[in-house]
Structures are given as C-alpha cells and as structure tokens.
Structure 1
Amino acid sequence: MPSDFLQLAGKTVLVAGVANRKSVAWHIARLLTEADCRVLYSVRSPERREQIAKLVGSDADIIVCDVEHEAEIAQLAKEVASRTDKLDGMVHSIAFADYQDGLKPFHETSKRAFLRTMDVSCYSFLAMSRELKDVFAHDASVVTISISTTRMASENYGYMAPVKAALDSSLAFLAKSFSAHSEVRFNAVAAGLLKTSASAGIPGYVDSYLFAEQATLRHRAVATEEVASTAVFLVSPRSSGINAQRVVVDAGMETNYFDAEIVRRNVEGS
C-alpha cells in the first residue's frame, strides 16, 4: 500500500470550527496535517485565534471569521485566496444553538433562537461555499459535520435537529448547483453522540450519551477520532465517487434500539 493512500500530500484544506482539543475539527485538522496536507484554520474570534495558535503553532494560517456576519465570510474568502491559489477542500464543523431562553418544548422555540441557530449552523455552510467558489479546485471536496439522525425527537436536542436536517438537505442542492461549473463535491459525516465541549452544553446530554453508548452494537460510544477519520476520507480524492451523501458514523446504533437487554431493563424498571 502506498504511504500516501489518501492522496492528500500537498493538498490545501480549510478547516472551520476548531475550538479546543476535543473539537471534531481539531481531530480532523490533526489527521490532515499528519497526511502532509496544508491546513488553513477559520475561527470565530481573535480570542479563539490566540487559543488555537497555542495548539497548532503561532506560524499557522489562522483566519478570524464570525459566520454570523456575511462581510466576514467574504473577507475570509479573500484571506484564503491571498494564501493559496487553490483550495482542495473545506471542512465545515460549525454549530451553535441559542439556549438563551432555557430548555423549552419544541413548539415554544422562539423565532430569534431558531433563525440564529439556522444562520450559524446551516446557512454559513452555503455562504462559505459560495464565497470560496472561485478559489476551490475544480474537484474540491467540501465536508460538513451533521448528526446521525434528525428523525428522533430528542427533547434536549430540540430545534437543532431540524436545523441539521436543513444542513443535510443543502448537500444535494449545493452539489447540483456547483455541478454546472465544476466537480466540487458536498458530503456530510453524520455523527452519533460524541464527547465534545459543545455537546457538554446541551441540557441532559450526558444521559443521552450514556444511553447511546449502550445502544451501539459494540456497546462503546463513537469516538471523535472515528468521525474525524471519516471526514478526512471524504476530503480526500479516494472518495471521489461520493457526492451529496450523508455518511453515518454511529457504531450501528440506529439498528439496535430494540436490543434485548435495553428492552428488558426498561420493562422491568417500569
């Protein structure tokens, strides 16, 4: 097997959303770097840039872009174009849920919270892709991070699931739109429950995570590294035949909700 199996050596990829060592984006960036890929970083604030510089080195290409502001996304594209003639891929690992109003039933979701979450977690994917269109390589690969299912009504995840469903739907429309002038691909890694700093802020998440761990076929939770590895594969030329798809990484959880032991414990405990 060739040492550069993924054919990423010498490629340049933008990774958006690194927050700390627990971030999916951080694991993706690390694996890309190990594959001899040049990584550009997009972070949301100057403070975050300082934090990430301590992880990746002060000489790393770290660009500040708060995706809530379209002018900053346009500036991001200019900054990227000033650093490279060709962007071979982009990883969008950005999500935000506005819990300012506290945890409420879905039907009580405020317009402000829903639209802000949609803006940051979904529309930013479209906007970044649009602004970077001219710097993308003809066959660039764009990957976003989604969730394993948007069809389970988890109370604590609330309106973020419909937002992720919109993100998933955008894959097909972006892929079709870009196909008029390129072979740029758009895919998502649909991850099961993970231990990240962002997930820790979701009310009741720990209990959901522990249940998910029991429900996987291997009875072991999905590791962030596993999600990152899938994302790196999708960024690589080795996944060239995959477009407008969600690749589910949940350790088989969606097949196992009626696991006999889980059912027995719940029935006996009722």
Structure 2
Amino acid sequence: MDFLDLAGKSVLVMGAANRKSVAFHVGKLLSDFGADVLYSVRSEQRRESLRKLVGDAPIYVCDVEHQEEIDRLAESLAKDRSQIQGLVHSIAFADYSAGWLPFHETPRSAFLQAVDISCFSLIATCNAFREILDPSSGSVVTISISTTRMAAENYGYMAPVKAALDSSICFLAKSFSGFSKVRFNAVCPGLLKTSASAGIPGYVDSYLFAEQATLRKQAVQTAEVANTVAFLVSPRSSGINCQGLVIDAGMETNYFDEQIVKNAVDQGG
C-alpha cells in the first residue's frame, strides 16, 4: 500500500551535494516511494558528482544567489513538467572564512549573503514557481534547525538567519493562500553529521554533547529527517501548514539530564 501517496508525483529537491546531505536522503526516499524526483544544484561540478548517485534523474543547475538562474530554472521545469507537487528547499550557506568571531562582530557582507542564500532563496524560488506548484495540493518544505533561541557561539549568525527562514514559512503560506492551497512547512532537526556541518568551527564537540542530551543517547539521524520531509511533502500531512516540526530525539526536554549535570558539577569541582 502506498500510504504516503507519493507515486508519480513530481518533487524538486534543491541542495543535494553528496551521500551525507539531507537533500540526497530526501530524494532517495521519495524515489523509493515512487515519486518523480528532480534535483537542483548550485554548479555544474555538483551536477557531475550528483549524477553518479542519482542515475538518470533530471538535475538542473541553479545558483540561487542569482535571480536570473532561479527564473531559468522555473522556465526549464515548466517545459519538462507542467506541474510539480512538491518543493524541498535544503539550501544554507555561511561564510566562516574570517574565523570565529563574537556575534556582535559579524561581518555585514557575510550576514547578508547568508540571508540571501539560506532564506531569501526560498522566497524567490516560490515566487518564480507559483505557476508550477500544484495549487490544489502542493507542498513546500524547507530545512531549518531545532531552535533559533539557543545562542551557540560556534553557530553564530546562522541562527538569526534560520529564524528569518522560519518566519518566512508563515508569510509564504499566508501569501499563497490568496490563490492556492499550497502548504509551507519546515523540518527542524537537531545536530546532524553532514558535510555542511563539518565546516562549522567546534561542531564535533557540540554534536557529541547534543547526542548525550537526547533522551535516547543517540544523535538524530539524517534518515529520520528525510522521513519527516517525505511525510510533509505527501498528501498525508494535508492538515499541517505554517509549522516547524522539531526532530531532536527529545533533546529540548533533557537539559537537566542527571549524568550531564553530574559531569558538569564534577568538572567544576
């Protein structure tokens, strides 16, 4: 039984990079459910590397920093598919080349670039795709983070950028509701082991701590995030709109875990 009712539905997955990326896991899972999965990547080099992983699936090149490339992607999709039922936005970028800096010293150019790529790209893409997204049952899902209220030094300015992304979900849903029933949601995972996260200073230590803070003492798996994305793309989640579903294995409820507290107290002594 095709419980998710995804067979034959066309879904564009943006941001797949390699086997570890959330977008790749999402695309593979959707394909397993019989969906018609299309991919969009940033560069020709990414297309060549992804081709080895996804076979004959259509792969488009679109650098979302350039509006003309977003428009060209929309035109290409419209020619190849009259309509798509799903859009998965798994795109984020932060320039940490200046090294770790206190938040108040965040470079203006780095912050604005991160907002452009990680947040505004969703708005611009949805606007360009408004005639392609199925108005009766379309679903847009973006990838956020489990909380934007925890001021982790090493994540820095990306938390406010993700907060803007979370807010944009609500405004896009309201805006599109004037002419369609397209839904907009975010999947908000805890710390994941991906290639992108490897570029964040001190990420491994944070990841190991987060793992201990989960109720099950096991970090969130990328496949678990992909499962949630597939559900939100599917018609089975038709009543869910303007939401951010947190996938953190209970971490947010477990900050006073007995062993974590004991370790902190013992070290402090």
Under a length normalisation based on structure 1, what TM-score does the superposition of the two structures give? 0.98
Q: Structure 2 counterpart of 1:135, which letter?
A: I
Q: What does residue 148 of structure 2 align with? A: 150
Is 1:135 aligned with 2:135?
no
How far residue 100 of structure 1 moved from its aligned partner, in angstroms, is: 2.1
Quick one: percent identity of the two aligned structures? 66
Q: What does residue 193 of structure 2 align with? A: 195
Q: What does residue 32 of structure 1 align with? A: 30
- Secondary structure at 1:136's aligned position in 2? coil
Q: Structure 1 counterpart of 2:226, which letter?
A: A
Is 1:123 aligned with 2:120?
yes
Q: Structure 1 counterpart of 2:42, which letter?
A: R
How far residue 102 of structure 1 moved from its aligned partner, in angstroms, is: 1.2
After superposition, where does 1:3-82 map in structure 2 within 5 Å? Answer: 3-57=1-55, 59-82=56-79
How far residue 82 of structure 1 moved from its aligned partner, in angstroms, is: 1.1
CA distance in 1, matches of 2:51, 2:258: 48
* Equivalent residues, number: 267
CA distance in 2, matches of 1:132, 1:233: 21
- Secondary structure at 2:116's aligned position in 1? helix
Q: What does residue 234 of structure 2 align with? A: 236
Q: What does residue 89 of structure 2 align with? A: 92
Q: What does residue 167 of structure 1 align with? A: 165
After superposition, where does 1:220-231 map in structure 2 within 5 Å? Answer: 220-231=218-229
- Secondary structure at 2:223's aligned position in 1? helix
- Secondary structure at 2:143's aligned position in 1? strand
CA distance in 1, matches of 2:183, 2:10: 16
How far residue 60 of structure 1 moved from its aligned partner, in angstroms, is: 1.9
CA distance in 2, matches of 1:147, 1:79: 31
CA distance in 2, matches of 1:189, 1:42: 19
CA distance in 2, matches of 1:60, 1:40: 6
- Secondary structure at 1:248's aligned position in 2? strand
How far residue 49 of structure 1 moved from its aligned partner, in angstroms, is: 0.3
CA distance in 2, matches of 1:93, 1:79: 20
How far residue 103 of structure 1 moved from its aligned partner, in angstroms, is: 1.0
Range moving further from structure 2, 100-109 or 159-168: 100-109
1:79-101 CA distances to partner (integer Å, 9 max, x unpaired)? 11111011000000000001121
Gaps of 5+ in 2: none
- Secondary structure at 2:191's aligned position in 1? coil
CA distance in 2, matches of 1:60, 1:39: 7
Q: 4+ residue stretches of structure 1 with deviation over 3 A?
A: none
CA distance in 1, matches of 2:167, 2:62: 24
Question: What RMSD, in angstroms, separates the aligned Cα atoms of the two structures?
Answer: 0.5
